[in-house]
Structure formats: C-alpha cells, structure tokens
Amino acid sequence: VSEAEMYRPNFHFTPKKGWMNDPNGMFYANGYYHLYFQHYPEKNVWGPMHWGHAISKDMIVWEEQPIAIFPDKEKYIFSGSAVVDTQNTSGFGKDGKAPIVAIYTLHDMEKGKDGKLDTEQQDIAYSTDGGFTYKKFDEGNPVVKNPGIRDFRDPKVSWDEARKQWIMVVAASDRDHFYNSKDLKNWKFLSDFGKDLGAHESVWECPDFFQIKVEGTNEKKWVLLQSLGQGAANGGSGTQYYVGDFDGTQFTVDPNFEQRIKREKAVWIDYGKDNYAGVTWNNIPTSDGRRLFIGWMVSLDYGGSVPTNGWRSSMTTPREMQLIKKGNEYSLISNPVKELDKYVSKSIEKKSLKVKGKTALFESGKIDLRQAVISFDLKNLKQDNYTFTLSNAIGESLTFGLNNAENYLFVDRTKAGKIDFSDKFASIVHKAKLDKNQKEANFKIVLDKTSIEIFYNNGEKVMTEIFFLNQPFNSISASSNSGIELTNLVINQLNINQNQ
C-alpha cells in the first residue's frame, strides 16, 4: 500500500481526499443513510468548510458523493443538521416529495478577522433531490441572527411530536439556546440551558437534543449531547450528556442526574480521547426506532497532526444509543450498530478459558486484527489488574483492560507505534473511573487498522482511541496475576475492506 493509504481504516468512514472534521446533517430516507461532514477537499488541513457527503445502505460501507454544500468565498459552511420535512412544513417540497432542509452555521471569516461579534449565524438550504444538491435560502437567510455572541453555532433541529413544532438547539458560548418553529424558516427564542452545570473548560459546540424511551419501559426522557473542546475525561475534547425533561420551552435536568453530574463533574458518552462532535441521525423510521450516532474519531488536541497523507481523520463506528435506568439513575449507553455483524466472515469461540499468567486469545495467523470484533466476559474478579495486550512482531503494543484494585478502565497506547506527532497523544495512560469494585465484567472490542473502540458492560462505559502502527497487530493476549476466568469469548473476523 502507498504511504497515503497505509493508515486508511478498513471500515470507518474517511474522505477520499482532503480534510474532514465533524459529522453533519445525518438523516435516513429511501433506503439510504446520509452523512455529511465538515470538509476541505483541497488539503488535509482545516480550511474553507464545505459539507462533504456520503451515503450508505447500512452505515458500514459508504459511497462518497459530490460535495453537497459549498462555501461562498469567506463564508464557510460550519456544522449543523438536516431534517426530512415529511409534512412539507417549509413549503420547499416539489411534486409531493419531502424536501430535505439543512440548517447550519454560516461563519464569516472576514468578520471573524475583524473581531466582530456577529461572525456566526444560522442559515438554511434545501434539497429537492433527496439530499444530493442544495439551494441556499438566500431570500430568507439568516433564519437565526447572531444575538451578539461570538461563538454561536452548530444548530441541531428535531421534531417535537407532542407540541407539533421544530426545535433547534444552538451552542451559544457557555450554554445552549433553544428555539422553536412551525416551518423551519421562522424561529423564536425559547430558553437557554447549561450555564452552571457540567463541563465548561471551553466553549460549547455541536449539541444534539432528542427524546428517547427508557429501555424496557414506556417512560420517555430528553437527552442533550454537548461537545466541548477541553476538559474531557482524559483532557482535550469530548461529549458530555444530560438527561431530563422538556416542556416545549425549557429543558430541565432530572434531579438524580444533576446529582451525578455534580459528583462526577460531567458525564461523558465516551471516556477515550477520540470521539468528538458526534450527533444522531434524523428520520429513522419508527418501525426501526433506534437512536443512531456517529462521532469524529480524533481529539481536537491533535486532529490537525495525525500522520496520514492526502486525507485526514475518520468517523467512529456508528452506534446505537439507549437510555437505561438502574434505581433512580439514568445512563445513556452506546453499542456498535448490529449491521456490523453482517460482515462477520469467520468466528473463533471459546466457552471458557481459565488461566494463570498470560495467554493468547487465539492462535497466531488465524484472525486479521485489522478488522475484528472481540467480546468476552470476565468472571470471579479479584482486586487485581486485568490486562489485554495487542502486539506485533516489532514490539509495538497497546494495552487496555480493567484495574479492579483502583476501579478504572484503561487504554495505554504509549508504545503503540507513532506517537510523537503530538505530546498530547500518548503521554499518559487514559482512564475511565468506575464507581465500585467489579465482580464480573463484559467487554466488546471493535478493531480497525487504526482504532480500538471498547464497549464495557454492554456500552455503559465506552473508550475510543486511535493509533498509528508501523506493522499491524497480530496477537492479543490476556493476563492477570491472580488468574483469569474468561467466558463466552467470541472473536469475529470482519470482511469489509471498503477502502481497498
């Protein structure tokens, strides 16, 4: 493989060329999942922002499409959302076909340079061909004027069925602003949220706001996802979330969840370094009913310096988000979408594995760890360290696991190949605190050429991390001083190779 393609993942979405950051405007219609993304096609660094576009039948294999929305000179198209306007509330529809309406931030670089406050405003564009080409709403933009706040961006719009209204949430520096509309063109300010609660180490960006059922009940809650550039669990950028209620005007956090936020400082959807600016899909059919998510798989700490050529950065594996309740406590869990299972080409299964010391999970050469999903349970855990090591023939390794003496999950990529492109990449072991000592545990690991996504206890804690090896990993082993009892080990070989 050429140097440019060496680090291109097998199945995580990447742009063919140029720079990519946040996922934007995802919706589902006519059998296709659409994904737009912050894109500068000319170079693999951030620049004039376009909305790149890709479509997929299953969120796993993507076909990149021509660019959907172009900047106009210094007026960049920043992050935002898109909705399928099934009732044609906007009137943009033609011949009875539902229009797609994109709602995004227009960022004026010239005003930005002059230090003007009104650098960012919310604009819309519409598509009458199912999301492939868009027309900017020149006669009516901006649909939300800048209220005198410099950082005022990333509108996420969704339909509030109970009130029959569109709701827009916009990140406004240290809080979110909520708006409503009947037609996606005229918006009214409703309320703000979040100024004094959760993480605030830098300005808020890329919110998402949706209603979701509590698993196994008929109770419904509202969830706010809130990304920010600094202050995540292991430093740098991350996405926190809030669970609560919405009365059509104001979002209020559930009192128990508020206690949890105060206890933990912030509650994150992912405790790894590399999941930022993620949002969820619009218009998933009710017969499906899932809340589907994708994030930008890198940290703002080093997004511009990861060692790829010709293109830069990838998305996470798409995930299903669910809300669970234990006692009085709500948690948002995420797991890889089930569509990934379609690509399993062979499996190794072991019902149980009891060992002292260190053991390989499969015979060398049997599985290609550049696209694999590994899951297992750990039983009879002691107050000890349970370490899993991915390694290759030239001594590169990545370890992850559970420290059940000090109660945390960890990922250590300090020896996993190239790390010196940023001192924030791998100078420390990354951790996710657990609130107590564990008796048993469950892990699901999704591996691609340049990433590991760890879903702990059915997605209650997630850690997403990228790495850049000089040779692929070819072995994974488990070790613990007090012995390991591993059950239900399944190693699934995937065969996707969309990017070869």
Residues that bind ligand FRU (rule: CB under 6 A) add up to a total of 12
Question: Does 465 engage in binding with ligand FRU (CB under 6 A)?
Answer: no
Cβ(36)–Cβ(65) below 8 Å = no
**Tokens matching residue 256:** 């128990």
Nearer to ligand FRU, 300 or 369 (CB): 300
**Tokens matching residue 32:** 């296709």
Exactly one of 105, 322, 475, 479 binds ligand FRU (CB under 6 A); which one? 105
Q: Could you give the string, one character per residue 26-55, with x where binding to ligand FRU holds by CB under 6 A and - elsewhere?
A: ------------x----------x------
**Tokens matching residue 95:** 């011949």
Q: Scanning residues 112 to 131, which ones bind ligand FRU (CB under 6 A)?
A: none
In 10 A of CB 198, how many CB atoms? 23
Question: Does 108 engage in binding with ligand FRU (CB under 6 A)?
Answer: no
Pick from 176, 175, 418: nearest CA to 305: 418
Question: Does 146 engage in binding with ligand FRU (CB under 6 A)?
Answer: no
Cβ(423)–Cβ(309) below 8 Å = no
What is the smallest separation between the CB atom of 49 and ligand FRU, expressed in angstroms?
5
Q: Could you give the string, one character per residue 150-189, with x where binding to ligand FRU holds by CB under 6 A and - elsewhere?
A: ---xx-----------------------------------
What is the smallest separation between the CB atom of 275 and ligand FRU, expressed in angstroms?
12
Q: Could you give the string, one character per residue 393-432, with x where binding to ligand FRU holds by CB under 6 A and - elsewhere?
A: ----------------------------------------
Nearer to ligand FRU, 131 or 278 (CB): 278
Q: Is 95 a catalytic residue?
A: no
What is the smallest separation between the CB atom of 104 and ligand FRU, expressed in angstroms?
8
Exactly one of 176, 205, 254, 412 binds ligand FRU (CB under 6 A); which one? 205
Cβ(244)–Cβ(251) below 8 Å = yes
E strand map for 97-237: 100-108, 120-127, 135-136, 152-160, 165-172, 175-181, 188-193, 204-213, 220-228
E strand map for 214-370: 220-228, 238-246, 251-253, 276-280, 291-296, 311-312, 319-326, 329-336, 344-360
**Tokens matching residue 284:** 């998933």
* CA–CA distance, 162 with 247 (Å, rounded to integer): 9
79, 455, 419, 235: CA torsion to nearest 10: 60
Nearer to ligand FRU, 22 or 396 (CB): 22
Q: Scanning residues 258 to 277, which ones bind ligand FRU (CB under 6 A)?
A: 277
Tell me phi and psi for residue 493, to 5 degrees.
-80, 125
Nearer to ligand FRU, 48 or 401 (CB): 48
Nearer to ligand FRU, 203 or 476 (CB): 203
What is the smallest separation between the CB atom of 473 and ligand FRU, expressed in angstroms?
29
| Site residues, ligand FRU (CB under 6 A) | 21-22, 38, 49, 78-79, 105, 153-154, 205-206, 277
Active site residues: 22
